[in-house]
Every structure is written in C-alpha cells, then in structure tokens.
Structure 1
Amino acid sequence: MALAMVLTAIGLLHFIWAFSPWPFRDAVTFTKTIGGSDDGVLPPAPSTLLVGLALVGGAVLTLMVNESVPGIGPAWLRLVGMYALTAVLLTRGLGGYFMNSGAAAEFQRLNTFVYSPLCLALAALSGTVAVAASRRWP
C-alpha cells in the first residue's frame, strides 16, 4: 500500500507540473530544483502528463498484483509489469546520480539525497511486491 500511495502522490504532482510550477514561485526555481537546469523552460506538458500517468498506472498495477483490487488481463502480464516497474525505478535511482553532471546545484543536492534514494526505495518495495507475487504463482 505504501508503494501505491507514494506512486500516486508523485504521479499527481506530475499532473500538476504539466500546467504549473507549483509549489515553486516561478518556472526558474522549479527547473533549478526539479528539472536540473536553470533556464526556466518547463518540460513539455504531454511528456509530464505521460510520466504522471505511468506513475499512477504503476500504483494501480501494484494494487492489482497485490490482489487489493481486481486484476485486469493475464496474471503473468501483471507480474512482468511489476518487474518492469522495479527495473525502471532501479534505473532511475542508480542512473539519477549520473544526472548531476552539469545540473543546477539545488537539483544536484536534492537528487543525491532525496530523488535517487527515493527511487531506490520504491524499487525495493516494488521488487518485494513482485517477488511475493511470484511466490503465489501457481
């Protein structure tokens, strides 16, 4: 449940960010803190919405694999999706440290101590859900 709640919250933030730099006062502060640049150019709204949708989709997938909500589609495909979610989160968590090169100082600090470790923690949680579901496999 914790994984689903955090993925949903981050997904909702991406939906907001598609149209607004909230909770930051302006686009430059947003990009320095969240985007890694200091140019104030927000990412394209469709891309940001797609990331938000993927995160919320990952939350729903987690609930389906965990059998908290009814599953859609074959169980094996949901399980593969859960392992894929784990791989994506792990890649962002580990790869995030390479994003620091040339990035704004505020982003580097937050990416090093918040964003990348959060992705690694979420990868551990999603991996736990995937392995537990694999053990229930018939």
Structure 2
Amino acid sequence: MYGIEWEALEMIRTVVPVGLATVLTAAGVMHFIWAFSPWPMKDTVTFTKTIGGTDDGVMPSAASAMMVGLALFGGAVLTLMVNESIPSIGPDWLRLVGMYGLAGVLLARGVGGYFMNSGAAAEFQRWNSVLYSPLCVALGVLGGMVAVAASRRY
C-alpha cells in the first residue's frame, strides 16, 4: 500500500509540475506569436473566428497577447519554483499563494469558458468546448495538485 502512495506522490512531484510548466510555456509562446501573426491560421478572420470568438477579423492588441504570454510564462516558472525544480525567490508562503491562485485562474477560465460560447463564432464555440476549456480545467487541476503537494512540504 505504501508503495502505491509513494509512486503517486513521486509522480505529482516530478511528472505533473514539468508537464504543467511545459504546456504553460507552449501556450505562452503561442500568445507571443499571436501578438504579431495569426499563425497557425491562414488569416486574421479565420483566427478571430477560431481563437478569438468573433467574426470581425480584428486581432487582439499585441500588448494584450504579450501580457497573457508573460502570465503563462510566469505560471510555468512559478510551478517549477514551487516544485523546487529551479531556485526560488521570495517567501515560501507567497509562492504557495501564487500557485493556488494560478490553479484558481485556470479553473475559472476552464469552467467560465463555457459561458464564453454564448454569441461567439461557431468555430470558437466548437474549439472552446472541445479543447480550450477542458485544457484549462485540466491545467487547473494539475496546478492544484502541485499546490497541495507543496503545502505538505512547507
């Protein structure tokens, strides 16, 4: 019995934080790309219908896309600091509060994302329901796991 518990805890301590940080970093990179390009979509109208939820073809401002990208990078770094994978700055309690906050924001985007479907472009509704919101919920759960595991260490 203790072997199973230890294996689960070890996975939370190793695989979960690295996986979470990797996905947050990838999402951050995408937001930086979107500050300057509609890639991987062919044009801005397709981008806004699929990713932005509108039919107008007006891309989000570069500044807002980069702010989201920086927040995602920050979440990745915070995850690795809380997990003690990289050197930490600041007090333990503040990093822990930040980790719980990250988990809460991701969960809120995931659950709240379904309410974003009302009035949004059909392509966005489909992708939001199948990928964006479920991904945010999953990342929020992983963030919560990292936070709880760190709470037990501190």
TM-score by length of 1: 0.98
Amino acid corresponding to residue 138 of structure 2 in structure 1: A
Deviations 1:34-79 (A, max 9, x none): 0000100001110110000000100000000000000011111000
Percent of residue pairs bearing the same amino acid type: 74
| SS in structure 2 of the partner of residue 70 of structure 1 | coil
In structure 2, distance between residues paired with 1:49 and 1:60: 16
CA RMSD of aligned residues (A): 0.4
In structure 2, distance between residues paired with 1:43 and 1:21: 10
Name the residue aligned to 2:86: 69
How do 1:22-33 and structure 2 match up within 5 A?
22-33=39-50
In structure 2, distance between residues paired with 1:31 and 1:109: 13
1:97 aligns with 2:114: yes
Deviation of 1:91 (Å): 0.4
1:57 aligns with 2:74: yes
Amino acid corresponding to residue 150 of structure 2 in structure 1: A
Deviation of 1:84 (Å): 0.3
Deviation of 1:15 (Å): 0.3
In structure 2, distance between residues paired with 1:63 and 1:10: 16
1:81 aligns with 2:98: yes
In structure 2, distance between residues paired with 1:69 and 1:126: 17
TM-score by length of 2: 0.88
Name the residue aligned to 2:54: 37
Unaligned runs of 5+ in 1: none
Structure showing greater Rg: 2
| SS in structure 2 of the partner of residue 71 of structure 1 | coil
| SS in structure 1 of the partner of residue 37 of structure 2 | coil
Number of matched residues? 137
Name the residue aligned to 1:9: 26
Structure 1 stretches of 4+ moved >6 Å:
none
In structure 2, distance between residues paired with 1:37 and 1:45: 17
Unaligned runs of 5+ in 2: 1-17
Amino acid corresponding to residue 130 of structure 1 in structure 2: A
Amino acid corresponding to residue 86 of structure 2 in structure 1: V
Name the residue aligned to 2:127: 110
